Amino acid sequence: MVFGLLRILDCLATFDQEARSVKISDAIPNVPVTNQFGKTVLFRDAFVNDDTALVINSVYTTCKGSCPVTSAAIEQLRKTLSPIFGKSLKFLSFTVEPLSDTPDVLMSYAEIFGADKLRPELSDWLFLNANPVDTDTLRRSLGLFDLNPRIDADVSEHASLLVVGNVKTDRWCSLPAELRQLTLVESIRRVAGFTFEQRYGIPQDL
């Protein structure tokens, strides 16, 4: 009964998304970004495609408040979700202090959380740097800004949110990084999952 209801709701959500002519992800700009390994790519070309689900957040390496907590949460999410998603899920952390958080600085920060290497058994976690104008464009396209200009201008006030999305299904949401790990895992699976089993942990043929 419950499994059947989940399948019906899942199909209805998919039908609604397929009916849209404009996707939520269409607003994401194709700005150049450089990761902690020194490789520069265009954001849309590299990450916004039907084969990849995304967990995106903003960060800065000198943050003493929410950033270390959020990064630690992502480190655990990566370990938990990698067996489920493999390389079809990417974690993207872009700096909101691009002038000081160079790729080398981001690499040192990434090393603290086990993201200094691309590991075959883990979903990729990339720390990204863009120029200040492109950084602002990117964060606004993802909804990572405050309506109050004074608060928005203060980098220490940036929201500790995880933006989760699946381009193919056009499912997107924002989650407070402080939520319980189990709640984050289940919420990310619902939104980012490509298959019924990835979304609900239930084999399709049951």
Least confident of 22-31, 57-66, 143-152: 143-152
pLDDT bracket for residue 14 (50, 70, 90): low
Return the structure tokens found at 68. Answer: 């270390």
- Give CA–CA dist 151/157, Å, rounded: 6
- Residue ranges per structural domain of the chain: 31-200
pLDDT at 37 over 80: yes
- Residue 176's closest CA among 147, 144, 148? 144
Going edge to edge, which strands form the sheet with 89-95?
40-42, 32-35, 124-129, 89-95, 53-59, 161-166, 171-176
- Residue corresponding to tokens 């603290």: 112
3-state secondary structure of 94: strand
Class of domain 31-200: alpha beta
- Residue corresponding to tokens 């990117």: 138
pLDDT bracket for residue 155 (50, 70, 90): confident
Q: Which residues are annotated as a binding site for Cu cation?
A: 63, 67
Mean pLDDT of the 85-106 span: 98
3-state secondary structure of 183: helix
Q: Which residues are annotated as a binding site?
A: 63, 67
- Residue 131's closest CA among 98, 93, 84, 178? 98
